[in-house]
Amino acid sequence: MFSDFSFDGIVDEVVTASAEPSHDFNTPWTLAFWYKRDTSASSGISTLMQTRTPTGGWLLRDPDAAVDDYDFAIIKPSFQPIADAIKGDDANWHFAAITWTPGATKVMRSYVDGVLYQTGNVTQAAVAGDVLQIGKGNFYRFAGNMDTVRSYARVLSADEIVRDYNAGKATHP
């Protein structure tokens, strides 16, 4: 979908022109990307990306001033954070993949550097959001770099995620 972004944490952002799979919780999707946090930024509070609207969606954000893990949070019907979705405590390149499996279980899985990092079940039906916003949220922006942002209209297998991670390791040391 996109590649080679550098976000200053102040004004930079990318917004998709139309809704893509990750806005809809009724269909399976995977979002995969490389990211590198700027740990010299003045605040640890940041949002990597979101589909958030007043009525639904999700966001991937570091909600406090500490430079630590990013939370994946579903906005509606109630605010449901699924903690520690991907790591964010260093200035190294990392590969992240977040998958959403709808249905009775409503499972979010996150992978960091090709390894399963977190699994979370959502107890309530989630509401679809809006277009994908990269590098910003409603209140905070991301300071750092992103590369090779991909959106899939299906849940990638663990083997496919490892393959994508291995394919990008050489260009993201």
SS3 of residue 166 by DSSP: helix
CA distances from 132 to 1, 82, 127, 170 (A): 11, 19, 15, 27
Joined together, the tokens standing for residue 6 give 């550098």
Q: What is the DSSP string of 135-162?
A: SB-SS-B-EEEEEEEEEESSPPPHHHHH
pLDDT on residue 10: 67
pLDDT in tens, the chain (173 residues): 667 777 777 677 788 888 889 999 999 999 999 999 887 766 667 889 999 988 899 999 888 767 778 888 898 888 888 868 888 888 899 999 999 999 888 999 999 999 999 998 888 888 999 999 999 888 888 888 999 999 999 999 999 999 999 999 999 98
pLDDT on residue 166: 97
How many Cα neighbours within 13 Å face the side chain of 155? Answer: 17
Closest by alpha carbon to 167, among 97, 110, 101, 90? 97
Whole-model pTM? 0.90
